[in-house]
Amino acid sequence: MEDPSDEPRARWQVLPSWLLTQTASHAHRLVTDGFSAVDARGYHFRVLATLDEFGSASQATLGRRSGIHVSEMVATISELAERDLVERAPDPADRRRNVVSLTAAGKKQLRRLEKQLAERQDELLAPLSSDERKRFAELLAKLLDHHGRRSG
C-alpha cells in the first residue's frame, strides 16, 4: 500500500493560507468533539474561563473580554445559568444590568473543559516537539496581532 505522504504536492497545497485553513478546520473538529464529550460548546469554555480569570462581570463586559458578540452572549449565559454553571444577579450599582458570576459547578465544568482542551491540543500538535509547539503558537499569535484579529 502506498503512503499518501510520498505523493508530490500541488503548488496550492503548500501555500500557508491553505495549510492554515486545513489545520484550523481540523483543530475546530477536535475541540468541538472534545467539548461535546462533556456536553459543552466553545462559547461555554470562553465564558467560564473568562469569569474564572477576571471575576464576575456584566454581560457586556463579559462579551468584550471573551470576544463573544452580544447576540450570542445572551443565549450562552442562559444555557450556562440553566445548568447552574453561572449565576445572574442584578447589578447593585445599576439594576438594569445583570452581573454574571461563576458557580462551584461552573468551576468544576471548567476543569473538565480544560482537560478536554489539553487532550485535543496534544492530539493536534502531536508531531511537534515542546519547543516547536511554543514557537508555532508564538508565530500564530504574531500573525493574528499583525492582522488585528486576536481579540476573538
Residue 40 pLDDT level (bands cut at 50, 70, 90): very high
Domains in the chain, CATH or no CATH each: 16-146 (1.10.10.10)
- When pLDDT is cut at 50, 70 and 90, the band that residue 20 belongs to is very high
Q: Give the contacts of 56 (CB within 8 A, at least 6 positions apart).
A: 99, 100, 101, 102
Question: Which of 31, 87, 78, 85 is closest to 57 using CA atoms?
Answer: 87
Encode pLDDT of 56-80 as tens digits: 999 999 999 999 998 899 999 999 9
What pTM did the predictor assign?
0.83
Three-state SS for 66?
helix
Which uninterrupted H or E stretch holds 57?
A: strand 57-58
Compute the distance between CA of residue 87 and CA of residue 76 in angstroms, rounded to an integer. 12
Q: If you search the block for the grid coordinates 457586556, which residue do you land on?
A: 60
From CA 29, how far away is CA 31, in angstroms rounded?
6
Mean pLDDT over 9-31 rounds to: 92
- Beta-bridged to residue 86, according to DSSP, are 102
- Quote the pLDDT of residue 92: 84
Asked whether the predicted pLDDT for residue 151 surpasses 80, the reply is no
Give the model's pLDDT for residue 96. Answer: 82
Contact 55, 40 (CB under 8 A): no
92 vs 30 pLDDT, higher one: 30
Per-residue pLDDT for 139 more than 90? yes
For range 21-47, the mean pLDDT: 95
